[in-house]
Structure 1
Amino acid sequence: MRTDVVVIGGGAVGAAVAYFLKFLDPSTQVSVVERDPTYSQASTPRGSGGVRRLFSLPENIELSKFSMTFFDHFAETMALDGVKADIGLKKHGYLFIVPPSARDVLKRNFDTQRRLGCHVLWLEPDGLKQMFPSMNVSDLGAAVYSPDDGWLVTRSVLLGFRNKATSMGVEFLADEVVGLVRKGKSVTTAKLNSGQQIEASHFVNAAGAWAKD
């Protein structure tokens, strides 16, 4: 069997990779190998579903900004046959609280987030008390609140990406990659547990916690 790209792992990351590959170039042949098509043992459905911009590295912040905008329109983008792909997105905010010893670190992160255009609020202990009257703030240093962040249903995101990618021509194989064939420094073939082999020009390891297996 020959394809352009083999994605190892069909969870949220693998399914998203497959979707975007087809979206960017519909002529690309993509095969996703997922050993647990029920996702009963997968990481994605076990995730809390938190989506936030409150990171320290600019790269993570930019990725999160893209993701949040994408999730805002996910239901319409992933719709099939007129049925929207609802992911239960709830924007009830994210709150990071630190002790006095970590104020400087939190402030640096806050400044980075603001510089990159994030809607975040700096809260002193008194401000926290006003927002959350039941909170004991006597031993707190400061907090950063991101009102536009929140959470979603991770399994719905996974199925939204998978179903849309399938409709675009991505092939999902219920199998397991058990070996890779290399030619020089390049991977050329994936060996599957079923005995099948897939040749490809590119391979993406999206196996998550099992990436080293």
Structure 2
Amino acid sequence: MDELSFHTRLHRPGSILDVGAHDGLLTLPLSRLPGARVLAFEPLPSAFARLESAIRADYGAIPPHIELHPVALGAEPGHLVLSVPVLDGVPQEQWASTAKTYAGFGSVTVLRQEVAVTTIDALELPDLQHVKLDAEGFEEEVLSGARATLARCRPVLSLEVEERHRPGSTQDVPAMLAGLGYETRFILDGAWHPHAEFDAATMQVASPDPSIFAASDPYIFTFFAWPTERSAAIQAALSAG
């Protein structure tokens, strides 16, 4: 099950956060879910331009139920430096990160720019139902800035979490979520597994150097989390059909 299928299967009308929207791969299909209001965050200007263009091309204009924000999310409002590694003159946008500087990798040059940061809690959303989070190592900060919202709204989450972006994150992020009353799971060989069965040493091995593309098989980096009080109902919905 991919992230779109996860959110579609569990869909409830209300607000959806697409954090790290890039060029709208999930923003568009999420925006078509019944009763959805999508807030997409993408701080990288080149990606944001494509995101905006994709929405306009699909809808003819930016519709009222989609909000596009060219800012990053974090633990507190302010500004951060966004670093983008460049290989052979090509910016590797999928590695753009406010958590990493890419210092020390002689094979890459780095584009850096200051970006504005806000928090999920600052949005004061009354009806957050879904969160898709892809922040290239900055997941803890984004979730830290969402504590009040997670406690109030209890949304379901899909998260891309990788050790190559932040060592220890595959343990630290689920532990943080557990402290907020969430359980985290992953999919391997078509079956759901509790996070306790995840082993980064065998299930997620890759270099932090963007010029090195080799990775372990399997390479599990997408995790799914939901409130423990809804676990039985959510598992039933995910296994239906």
Structure 2 length as normaliser, TM-score? 0.24
Which structure exhibits the higher relative contact order, with contacts defined as CA atoms closer than 8 Å and separated by 6 or more residues?
A: 1
Tell which structure's C-alpha radius of gyration is larger: 1
Structure 1 length as normaliser, TM-score? 0.26
Higher-strand-fraction structure: 2
